[in-house]
Homo-oligomer: A and B are copies of this chain.
Amino acid sequence: MSTGDQQPKRANYDEILRLSLERGFFYPSAEIYHDAPAGFWEYGPTGLLMRNNFVREWRRMLVKRDDMLEIDGSLILPKIVFEASGHLSSLVDPIVQCTKCGTRIRADKYISEKTGLQIDERLSPEDFQKLIAEHNLHCPKCGGSFGMPTKFNMMFRVGVGAEDVDAYLRPETAQSIFVDFQRLSKTMRMKLPKGIAQVGKSFRNEIAPRQALIRLRELMQAEVEIFFNPEAKFDPQKFEKIKSVEMNVLSQPYTDSQKEVAKRFTSTEAVSVFGGKEIIAYYFALLQEFYEACGFRKEDTRFRELSASDRAFYTTSAFDFEVNTSFGWLELVACNYRTDYDLGNHSKYSKNDLSVMDQEKKVLPHVIELSLGVDRSLFALLDFKFFHEQNRDVLRLPSNIAPYLSAIFPLMSKPEFESKAEAIYENLKQEEYNVFYDDSGNIGRRYRRMDEVGTPYCITVDHDTLQNDTVTLRERDSMAQSRIKISEIASTLRDLRDKH
C-alpha cells in the first residue's frame, strides 16, 4: 500500500468534506439541531470569499460586456409566472407512498434500483403502477403496499399576505429575466443580441438531496440568458475573436460505451454540431475560457449533448458542460437552447406582446441559456485542487479564486514585528483582494494553515525587515521564498493575481 508517498496525492471526496467542515468552507445548515432537514448548507468565511471571487471572475469574463446586463430579481414569484413557464405542471418527480407506514419515495429511482431497468421519470402514474405490480414491489421500510403513484412538484410554495395568495420560490433565476424582458428592452435601449445575467439563490424541493453541495434544496445559480433574432447572422467580428478556442464536445447520438469519447473541436468546427448557430459556439467558447481561468483544465471538461428524453421540458437542444471529478462526470452548467418558449408563454399568459423590433422587423427573440451551478463548481474545484504531500495538505487554487490572496505574519510576538506587520495588513486591506493576518503559533504552522485554505502568497515580517524594509514572500506551491520591498507588496500581489 506504500506507493510513492513522496508524490502529491489527490484527496478524495471524504477528505474534501473534512476540509470544508474544519476550515470554514461550508457546513450543514442549523447543524446544532439534530433533525434539521438535509439539502441546506452554509458558506463559512473561507468558502464565501472563494465564492465571491468565483462570481467576480464570472462577472469579469461573461457579464461586464457592452452586450450584457445584469439584474437581481425576487426569489418569491407569483403562481402565474410558473403556470406560464410550465414549471407548475412539468417540474415534477414521480413519487409513491406506502399505504401502511406513510413513507414516500421516488418511484422511478426505486423501481430502477430494484429491477436494474432504466426508468424514464416522465412515465405516467398508471405506467408506474403497472411496473410496481409487475415486479411485486413493496415499501422498503415496512413491506406495506404502495398507493397510486403521484407527481410531486419540486417548487416550494409560499402563501403571501393575510389572504395566503399562492406564490413559489423560484426554481431557476431565469424566469425573472423573461418576465422583466419588456421593461429592460424598453428602458435600457436594448439591441439584439443581448444577454441578461443574474446570480442568486434558487430552490428545489428535492426528495433526496445528497452529496453536500452537489444536490441542494437551496442552491446558487449564475445564469445568462442571451436573447437573439433567430433570422439574423451573428457578428463575424465577434466570432473572429473566439474562432480558435478549443472545446471537447460529445454529440448525439452516442451509446453508453461511447460516453467517454468527446471530440476536440475549435469553435469554428463546433458550429455544425450546434445546428449551424455561431452564437452558440461563441458563448460556449466564453464559458470554456471562464472555467479555464478558474483553474479547470480543458482535458477535464466537455460539452455533452443530451438526448430528447434527457432534456428539460423548455429546451429543444441542450448540452451539459461537465467536469471529470474524482467521483465521476459532474454537470456544472446546463446550456439550453430555449427558443422563444418562455417569451412566447409569458406573452400569452400576460396578454403582453413581448416581441421587439430588430432589423426593421418585429421578432420574438430566441434564447440561449448558460445556467451555471455555483456551489457544485466550487466543490468540483476543491476536488481537483486539494492534495496531500509528504508534510502538508495543500489546496492549489489559482490566485484569482483562492479565499485569501495573501497572509501577513509577524515572525515573532514582539511590538517591532507586530507594528510593521499590522501596518502592511491595514494597507493591503484597502485593495480589492483579501488578506489574512496571523500572529499565533510558529511560522511553520502558520504556513501550513494557509496551505490548507489555498493562500498562494505568505508575507513574513522578519529580522531583515527591521533593517531594510523588505519582507519574505513565500509561494505556496513551490514553497520558494524571495524578498521584496514593503512599498512594492500591493502591486506585486495585484500582478500575481491577474496572472493567476
Residues of A within 8 A of B (CB): 21-24, 27, 29-33, 35-37, 39-45, 48-49, 51, 60, 64-66, 69-78, 80-81, 95, 97, 104-105, 152, 156-163, 165, 167, 169, 176, 179-180, 182-184, 187-189, 201, 203, 205-207, 217-218, 346, 349-350, 352, 354, 425, 429-430, 432, 434, 437, 440
Give the residue name and chain of the B residue nearest to A220 (CB). B72
Contact A76 B160 (CB under 8 A): no
CB pair B32–A182 under 8 Å, yes or no, is yes
A162 B95 Cβ-Cβ under 8 A: yes
| Option from B179, B189, B218, B434 in Cβ contact (under 8 Å) with A32 | B179
A105: which B residues are within 8 A, CB to CB? 162
Pairwise interchain contact A32-B346, C-beta atoms closer than 8 A: yes
Nearest CB of chain B from residue A327's CB, rounded to whole Å: 24
Binding site secondary structure of chain A:
mixed
Compute how far the CA of A43 lies from the CA of B196 in the bound complex, rounded to whole angstroms: 13
**A281 CB → nearest B CB, Å:** 21
Q: Please give the distance in Å from A166's CB to the nearest CB on chain B.
A: 10
| Residues B162 and A73 in contact, CB atoms below 8 Å apart | no
Q: A37-B165, A95-B162 are in contact. Are A42 and B207 (CB under 8 A)?
A: no
CA A328 to CA B463, docked complex, whole Å: 59
Give the docked Cα–Cα distance between A440 and B66 (Å). 13
A–B complex contacts, Cβ < 8 Å, 14 sampled: A22-B187, A24-B184, A27-B183, A30-B81, A32-B350, A37-B160, A37-B161, A41-B74, A43-B72, A44-B188, A66-B437, A157-B158, A158-B158, A161-B207
Measured in the bound complex, the distance between the Cα atoms of B150 and A144 in whole Å is 43
Asked whether A218 lies within 8 Å of B80 as measured between CB atoms, the reply is: no
Q: How far is the CA of A425 from the CA of B64 in the complex (A)?
A: 11
Query: How far apart sit A176 and B165, CA to CA, in the bound complex (Å)?
Result: 28
- Could you tell me the distance between the alpha carbons of A104 and B159 in the complex, rounded to whole angstroms? 15
Contacts of A64 in B (CB 8 A): 429, 434
A77 touches B30 (CB 8 A): yes
Chain B neighbourhood of A43, CB < 8 A = 71-73
A131 CB → nearest B CB, Å: 19
A215: min CB distance to chain B, Å: 13
Do B76 and A203 touch across chains, with their CB atoms under 8 A apart?
yes
Chain B residues, Cβ within 8 Å of A165: 37
Question: Given A76-B217, A77-B30, A179-B30, does the pair A71, B95 have CB atoms closer than 8 Å?
Answer: no
A3→B40 CA distance, assembly (Å) = 60
Structural contact, A33 and B81, CB atoms closer than 8 A: yes
Q: Is the CB of B42 within 8 A of A78?
A: no
Q: Tell me whether A48 and B72 are in contact (CB under 8 A).
A: yes
Given A31-B183, A437-B66, verify A40-B76 contact (CB < 8 Å). yes
- For A70, the chain B residues whose CB sits under 8 A away are 45, 48-49
- Complex: chain B residue closest to A440, CB-CB: B189
A180: which of B42, B81, B156 is its contact (CB, 8 Å)? B42
Q: Which residues of B contact A33 (CB under 8 A)?
A: 78, 80-81, 179, 349-350
- When the two chains form their complex, are residues A78 and B30 in contact, meaning their CB atoms are under 8 A apart? yes
Task: With both chains docked as a complex, state the minimum distance between the C-beta of A251 and any C-beta of chain B, in angstroms.
Answer: 33
Contact: A160 with B66, CB < 8 Å?
no
Closest to A25 in B: B187
Residue in B closest to A439 when the chains form the complex, CB atoms: B66
Nearest CB of B to A426, in Å: 10
Q: Say how far A114's CB is from chain B's closest CB, in angstroms.
A: 19
The distance from the CB of A240 to the nearest CB of chain B, in whole angstroms, is 14
CA distance A343 to B32 in the complex (A): 12
